[in-house]
Structures are given as C-alpha cells and as structure tokens.
Amino acid sequence: MKTPDWNMIDRWLMGEASVGSQIADSIGILCNVIGVRWAGSEHEHTAARFVAARFEEMLLHDVAVEEFPLQTCDCHAASLRVEDWSLDARPCLFCPSLNIEAPLVNVGFGMAHELEPLRQRLSGSVALIRSEFEAFTEPRLLTQRLRDLADLGVLAAITGSPHGGRRMSHVSASDWRDNPTKVPLPLIQTSSEDAARLRTKAMQGKRITVTVNAEMRTARSWNAVADLPGAEVPDESIVLGAHHDTTPDSFGANDNGAGVAVMLETARLLSGLRKNLNVQPGRTIRFVSFGAEEQGLQGSTAFVDRHFGPEPKPRFMLALDELGTGNMKGVVLQFPELRSLMQQQLDFLNEGLQCHVLSQMDASGDMFPFARQGIPSSFLWRWRFVGRHPETVYGHSNADTPDKLRIRELKEYAGFLARFLLRLSHVPAADWPENHLDVAHIAQRIEAERGAVLRTM
C-alpha cells in the first residue's frame, strides 16, 4: 500500500476546513430554519432528510434515512400552584400525567439522614428536593434519591433549577442504562427563585397542587447514514456519529447542531479530498446522524441493533456531542485496548491532543449502545463537564441558539477529525489490537457500576 503524502493531505484539509467551511450554513439550517427537533416530530424528520441530502451532495455511498420505532412523550401542559401563587414549571422528560394536591415537604438533598426524621410525613406528599450533590458526602445520583422517595410513598418531586434568572431546562430523571422512558418518580423543575420561596412555604406546612398533562405514545424517528468507501479494506469501518434531535423546546445549537455540522463538514472534507487529490480512506468511514438521543439513546440503539450482527462490528466509533463547549483536547475511550494506537495517531497530528480512558461506562451519549455491544467507542475531550465556555450552559432550553457557538473552533474540529480519521483508516489491520471485548462481561460491569457517579476529570 502506497504511503499517503500526509503533509500535502494535511495542508489541503486544514486549508479547506478554514476557507471552504459549510459549518455555519449547516447550523443555520438545523437551528433557524428547521428549529426544534424533538424526536418523532416532522421537524426531526426534516433534519434527518437534510443530513441525507448533504450526504448525497458529497457523493457518499449507500445514503439512507432509516426509520425506527420510538417510545416518546409529549407534554401538553404543566403547572404548580400554592394557594393563589402559580410557579414556574417544567416537567422532566417522560414525566407521566398527574393531577394531585398534597402536603409539600422539603427533603433537602433527599439523603438518608434527611429522610429518616421525615419518614412519617412523606407518604402522600410532594417532595421539594435539591438536585445537586450534598457537599462532603458520598455522592448519590438524583435517580436513586427519587427512587428512595418513591419507596417512601412520595407522589411527586419538585427541584429548583441550578441556574438563576428563572432559567430552566428539560432534565432527565431516569437511568439510561435501564428503560429510559420510565421515571422513578414524576419530577418537575421550577426556577431557582421559586424553589427558594417554596422552601419557605414548606416550613409553613402549605399544600401544593401539581398538574401535568402528558401523552405517552409510539412514534417514528430516523437515523441518516452514508459511507465513504475504503480503498484497501472496504469491509472494515470506522463510525463517526452525532445526534440531530433536541429536547422539546430547544433550538439545539450546541446540543447538538454543532456536532451534526462538524460531522457533515468532516464528511465533506474527506469526500473532497477524494475528488481533488484522489486520496481515499483505507477502510470505510461511516457517517451517522442519530435520532432520539435525547430520549434515551433510542436512535443509536436501533442503529447498533440493525447493523451489527448482520454486518461486522466497526473497528472504532466516535461520537460528537456538545462541541461548542470548548476546543478539541483529544479523545476519551470507553475501553483501554486502543489507547496506544489512538495516542500514536493523535501524535502524528502534532497538535498536542491526548487520549484518555474512562474509569466507568458512560451512558450519557450515543457511544454507549456501541460500547454495550463490545464496539470500541469514544467521545471527544473538549471540557464538556468542567471549564466549559460560559455561553454554552443553555443546553436543553430554548436559549441554546447559534449565536453562542464559536464557529472558528468548530472549523478546527472538522480539520482535526478529518486528519485523525483518515490516518486511522490507513492503519494496517495487523496493527489494530484484536477486539476481545466480551458483551456479557460488559453487561456485568455496567451492573456493578450502577449508582456510580461518573468521574470526568
């Protein structure tokens, strides 16, 4: 196999990534033209078709929009009321319908030492709970604390937003390792300001009325997929994926218009390299835009179930999500087997990028269904959890808009990714560690880590 002229390739990719970028255009169409893309809606279908149309323009192979069944929920109305005071209210994703009037009990963080003295008062009540971790104590996930409340007979829970200025977001109350559409307890978020007032009302022994009108239904969602065939080993593949859906009222610029736009731009760069310099990947690179990530990773789960079994498992999967939170620092793997190989390829880029390995399985993104089936998978290290750009803290809300993205950083992402994936595609098969990941062992690991708080730094 002829050694590619990497200097020439890198100059072309980085130059085209800078001056020919379509990232801003893609983000504008996804967020401003199509808008909110809640999975199962016609807008989400439009987004999947838009991605597929871009794939067609790039002359990628086997372009398809793949439909899959979706378990979804539409919230038509929600309200919280104490006496004549109407509060801010936003139900969690998949919050069931309810209409109750009950005593309000402040349970603090909902930890065992706080619940024990309240035990006699909790059955039949609505709990006011802080969603963050209690300081200095062993962290306990909110999902677990909600289960504790449900076991004590609590009817619903209310939590204050961690942000000020009456800013709220759609939160998840379920554990995505289980059934993501089933919440342990109906959870409604209110603003931090109203939560502070509610703590006073709870001290006064007030009652609260909670109303949620929600519809659980079966719908359809869509994944868009295309291949850039490999010239040397076309039957082997690397997968680059991002999700195009949003929460119910979010324009989804950072989460995840940025990821989809960078995925499309990476595909454009690599297909343009083939057209302009006659340089092709060594093994096939598959590009996927997933639906229903915000609804428990249903799109990526459907994709893995559909493709891997009939088809060989990919060598590697990389998920793009919330890229607006910071510039690219490197790659984070779910499993350690590929660490040396990945670091070697990152070093070839000479950009100071690092490869790290998670100490736990991360179920928060589209890499998880791949990892669960023994496919080496990863996401990008970009300060998603720590030290993120302050203007990108508006996820899962209608303030997640394109003006908060740094387009120049996203251009750099696409250039780096194109260079990285192209190099990976040309690594000889003999240099890839053999995949010994065992699905049964991974399932045991997931179960053993249940309740663990994900370490991010």
The CATH number of the domain where 131 resides is what?
Answer: 3.50.30.30
Give the Cα separation of 69 and 223 in Å (integer).
11
Question: Is residue 213 assigned to a domain?
Answer: no
Same domain, 323 and 426: yes
Considering 205, 240, 266, which residue would you say is the last residue of a domain? Answer: 205
Between helix 407-425 and helix 6-19 the angle, nearest 10°, is 150
| Pair 203, 103: CB distance under 8 Å | no
327 and 398, same domain (yes or no): yes
List phi, psi (to 5°) of 137.
-110, 165
Q: Identify whether residues 242 and 328 lie together within a single domain.
A: yes
Return the beta strands (E) in 130-272 as ranges: 156-160, 187-190, 207-228, 233-243
- Which one-letter amino acid corresponds to residue 370? F
Show the domain range for 164. 84-205
Beta bridge partners of 218: 71
Among residues 180, 205, 230, the one where a domain terminates is 205
Alpha carbons 118 and 123: distance in angstroms, whole number:
10
Number of domains in the chain: 2
Tokens of 275: 């057209």
| Residues 25 and 68 grouped into a single domain | yes
* The three-state (H, E, C) secondary structure of 5-65, written as one string: CHHHHHHHHHHHHHHCCCHHHHHHHHHHHHCCCECCCHHHHHHHHHHHHHHHHCCCEEEEE
Sequential pLDDT tens for the chain (457 residues): 578 899 999 999 999 999 999 999 999 999 999 999 999 999 999 999 999 999 999 999 999 999 999 999 999 999 999 999 999 999 999 999 999 999 999 999 999 999 999 999 999 999 999 999 999 999 999 999 999 999 999 999 999 999 889 999 888 888 878 777 889 999 999 999 999 999 999 999 999 999 999 999 999 999 999 999 999 999 999 999 999 999 999 999 999 999 999 999 999 999 999 999 999 999 999 999 999 999 999 999 999 999 998 889 999 999 999 999 999 999 999 999 999 999 999 999 999 999 999 999 999 999 999 999 999 999 998 876 778 899 999 989 999 999 999 999 999 999 999 999 999 999 999 999 999 999 999 999 999 998 888 877 7
Residue 457 lies in a domain: no
- Identify whether 276 is preceded by a cis peptide bond (ω within 30 of 0): no
Question: Which residues lie below 8 Å from residue 84, measured CB to CB, with a gap of 6+?
Answer: none
Asked whether 224 and 289 are in contact (CB, 8 A), the reply is yes
Let me know whether 23 and 95 are in one domain. no
- 316-320 and 233-243 as β-strands: parallel, antiparallel, unpaired? parallel
Classify residue 453: in a domain, yes or no.
no
pTM of the predicted model, to two decimals? 0.96
Q: Does the residue 79 lie in any domain? A: no
Q: Which of 205, 227, 244 delimits the end of a domain?
A: 205
Q: Which two tokens stand for residue 334?
A: 């779910």
- Do 318 and 424 belong together in one domain? yes
